[in-house]
Homo-oligomer: A and B are copies of this chain.
């Protein structure tokens, strides 16, 4: 199974609306941020960094011309990648011109030996490749490779791809020819090199990806020796903390998802992509173990991962507090990468299930409905006055900020959404895969062509029309849909899912309708999750629901859901939260007491509690929000 190409999917419906939002609002807004033209927000300076690096290379004195994080370059790369995907969906001369100009600026910032990184080019050329622990040179290179591949795929233009091939040659010289010995402190270049390899056939890309993956965790003292040779540091990172950067042991021996969550899933994606490329069973077995570690023991209901603010990291098994959750948007995006890479190894519904869970919940929650504000951290519970204020909850903001000093998440969400077709649809020679239910049309490279009509995720019916068939249509049956029905040309057909997919033989003109279970579902946590044991959550279709003060008289902590009572799905509301479906649930409201503790059981009154999809939370001002509710 491979993803469809970026130009294959023309979106409609829910996904179409989001892709249009990215094009109309997010990409222009983010570009204004990158150019430091957005009012009242964090300074970016990233374009200026590239301009200054170019000047520095031409011998101009740019003084203190770098501003931002050591990985600031990657914001431009991710924006460019998002713009590339968007250009494939919505041709736009103006945007393409802006992107072309940016590529010129980037190309001019490349050193003659192929090196490309504004931090060192501006600050100190001599320090290149001396701080793999912290300096993110390979991370930034990886992101720029991804942008280059995307831009060529969307526009056919290969200027940036050539720049990055030259950059690959430079990296090859350093790491293979000159045997540098190190691996990146922040994985990312591995998955990017595999994209480069697929896009160009350049074997050095594959060789480098293999090197970075195979070498990881083999030389556990590397960062310590590296640090000893240096008299400077970016953040004073501990070179002995191998767990943080997943290099405590060779990747094939790793069993638990540990350390910085984004680093982890970017690495695992690279590993899974390499396994798909090479057929390396041992590597795939490691990927499966790490996948299980995440989804069976270390993942929030919303597909959020990395539960602790300390190192933005995975914690131990079953440590998933809802209110102090970290759940970085980028980590859930990375989890989608990992899931898609696993699907390339084996078509199993569980990978697409998790991809969908992460997308419709944590990833979308990362973006305000108007596309102008973003969450980096996605808690499952917010209490105004505590969240964002108390020392242990300072990272859990009750409202989305406009931008971040560390701005990895907003452009990451933009590129993910703009390329959603690659996650929704896949193909091999004989099969058209539908992993996610994304309305629109799809032109498969295998010759098949379908259209998909659906009001998903709110309507749970999906209508496929086969424009050009002769292929098998493989459609995922989500594990949450205990019942489903399929018709072909209005006739019921009976198909048992195989590894979570039904495989339907289709011909031109066939109409396949899948009806999934649209009833609201209560979700119960394992008793091992001590933070939420005994509580209950609500979901419908792929959407996890939450309860906000705005719908519930200001206070949701005092509500206990009656799981034996009625949960009623409301009609689609076009106005509310940009169009959504509320669910109302029988509940009891506990009267507050005077003081902190009472020996009299507080009075409880029957009420109707109202839930909205989790991803829409925080769009109506600061108020309480809860996913896990008391059960009464």
- Which B residues are CB-close (under 8 A) to A381? 530
Additional 6 contacts, C-beta under 8 A, given A299-B596, A522-B601:
A308-B391, A310-B391, A315-B391, A529-B596, A534-B590, A534-B632
Contact of A531 among B315, B323, B391 (CB under 8 A): B323
Binds B, one of A67-75, A136-144, A397-405, A553-561: A553-561
Cα A560 to Cα B630 in complex, Å, equals 12
CB within 8 Å of B: which A585-632 residues: 590-593, 595-602, 630-632
Cα A593 to Cα B527 in complex, Å, equals 8
- Which B residues are CB-close (under 8 A) to A529? 596
A203 contacts B by Cβ under 8 Å: no
Contact, CB under 8 Å: A391 / B563: no
- Nearest B residue (CB) for A298: B596
Can you report 14 residue pairs joining A to B where beta carbons are below 8 Å apart? Answer: A301-B597, A308-B391, A313-B391, A315-B386, A315-B391, A319-B390, A319-B392, A323-B530, A324-B392, A529-B596, A533-B630, A534-B630, A534-B632, A563-B601
- Which B residues are CB-close (under 8 A) to A447? none
Name the residue among A389, A531, A593 with the largest chain B CB count within 10 angstroms: A531
Contact of A527 among B392, B528, B602 (CB under 8 A): B602
Contact, CB under 8 Å: B523 / A318: no
Contact with B along A364-390 (1 / 0, CB 8 A): 000000000000000001010110011
| Given A296-B595, A391-B311, A534-B632; A527-B590 close (CB under 8 Å) | yes
- Nearest B residue (CB) for A536: B601
- Which B residues are CB-close (under 8 A) to A445? none
A317 contacts B by Cβ under 8 Å: yes
Contact, CB under 8 Å: B390 / A595: no
Distance of A222 from chain B, by nearest CB (Å): 24
A572 contacts B by Cβ under 8 Å: no
Contact, CB under 8 Å: B592 / A526: yes
- Which B residues are CB-close (under 8 A) to A537? 597
CB within 8 Å of B: which A519-560 residues: 521-531, 533-534, 537, 555, 557-558, 560
Contact, CB under 8 Å: A524 / B598: yes
- Which B residues are CB-close (under 8 A) to A299? 596
Distance of A513 from chain B, by nearest CB (Å): 24
A484 contacts B by Cβ under 8 Å: no
- Nearest B residue (CB) for A558: B527
| Given A527-B558, A555-B527; A385-B317 close (CB under 8 Å) | yes
A480 contacts B by Cβ under 8 Å: yes
A316 contacts B by Cβ under 8 Å: yes
Distance of A590 from chain B, by nearest CB (Å): 5
- Which B residues are CB-close (under 8 A) to A555? 527
Contact with B along A323-341 (1 / 0, CB 8 A): 1100000000000000000
A204 contacts B by Cβ under 8 Å: no
A321 contacts B by Cβ under 8 Å: yes
| Given A526-B596, A602-B527; A385-B308 close (CB under 8 Å) | no
A297 contacts B by Cβ under 8 Å: yes
| Given A530-B383, A630-B533; A599-B390 close (CB under 8 Å) | no
- Which B residues are CB-close (under 8 A) to A385? 316-318
- Which B residues are CB-close (under 8 A) to A323? 530-531
**Chain A contacts to B: CB under 8 angstroms:** 295-297, 299, 301, 308-311, 313, 315-321, 323-324, 381, 383, 385-386, 389-393, 480, 482, 521-531, 533-534, 537, 555, 557-558, 560, 563, 590-593, 595-602, 630-632
Cα A218 to Cα B325 in complex, Å, equals 39
- Nearest B residue (CB) for A604: B534
Contact, CB under 8 Å: A599 / B480: yes
- Nearest B residue (CB) for A544: B597
- Nearest B residue (CB) for A531: B323
Distance of A397 from chain B, by nearest CB (Å): 15
- Which B residues are CB-close (under 8 A) to A591? 527
Cα A323 to Cα B631 in complex, Å, equals 20
Contact, CB under 8 Å: A596 / B525: yes
- Which B residues are CB-close (under 8 A) to A596? 295-297, 299, 301, 318, 320, 525-526, 528-529
- Nearest B residue (CB) for A537: B597
Contact, CB under 8 Å: B526 / A597: yes
Contact of A526 among B522, B563, B595 (CB under 8 A): B595
Distance of A538 from chain B, by nearest CB (Å): 11
- Nearest B residue (CB) for A590: B527
Contact, CB under 8 Å: B592 / A527: yes
- Which B residues are CB-close (under 8 A) to A526? 592-593, 595-598
- Which B residues are CB-close (under 8 A) to A601? 522, 524, 563
Contact, CB under 8 Å: A390 / B316: yes
- Which B residues are CB-close (under 8 A) to A527? 555, 557-558, 590-593, 602
Cα A200 to Cα B534 in complex, Å, equals 59
Distance of A477 from chain B, by nearest CB (Å): 15
Cα A390 to Cα B325 in complex, Å, equals 13
- Nearest B residue (CB) for A564: B601
Cα A526 to Cα B600 in complex, Å, equals 11
Distance of A137 from chain B, by nearest CB (Å): 28
Contact, CB under 8 Å: B315 / A524: no
Name the residue among A390, A391, A522, A596 with the largest chain B CB count within 10 angstroms: A596
Cα A392 to Cα B393 in complex, Å, equals 11
- Which B residues are CB-close (under 8 A) to A522? 599, 601
| Given A555-B527, A557-B528, A592-B526; A392-B392 close (CB under 8 Å) | yes
